[in-house]
Structure 1
Amino acid sequence: MLVREAKLKDGTAEQYQALDEAIRTGQFVRNKCLRLWMDTRGCTRAKMQGLCKVLAKEFPFAKQLNSMARQAHADRAWQAVNRFYKNCREGVKPVGYPKFKKHSRSVEYKTSGWTLSDDARTLTFTDGFAAGTFSLYCDNVAREDILRSKINRVRVVRRADGYYAQFCLDVERQEPGNYTGNAIGIDLGLTFFIKDQNDNAVAYPQYLRKSEQRLKRLQRRLSRKHQKGKKQSANYHKNRKQLGRAHLKVQRQRKDWAIKLARALVASHDVVAYEDLQVRNLVRNHHLAKSISDAAWSQFCDFLDYYGKVWGKAVVAVNPAFTSQDCHHCGRRVKKSLSTRTHECICGAKLCRDTNAAINILKRGLELLGISISTEGHSETTCILQGTPGEINLSATSGQPFVVRVV
Structure 2
Amino acid sequence: MVDDAASERLRLRNRQKQKRHRDRHNAERDALLAEVADLRRSLRRAAKLSARRSKPTSTLVPWTAIAATLAEEASEAEATRVALNTHRERLEKLSRSLASMVSTVARGVPMQAEPWNSIALVAEPCARQLGLDWFTRHLHANTERMLQLSAFPCDGAVKDTVVRDCGNGVADLLGRIQIEYSLSLETAHAALRGRIWDELTGVNSSCAVEPLDMDLVARIEHPSCMTYLRSAISADESNFFVAREVRTRDRVVFAQGNFTQDASQPANLQWRPRMYWYVLDRIGPHRTRLRAMLYNGPKIRAGTLVPWQRDTGLMNLTAAPDAEALDFDTFRRLVRRHVQPIMDVDYTALLLPEASPESMATELLDLA
TM-score under structure 1 length normalisation: 0.23
Tell me which protein shows more helix as a share of its residues: 2
Q: Which has the larger radius of gyration?
A: 2
TM-score under structure 2 length normalisation: 0.24
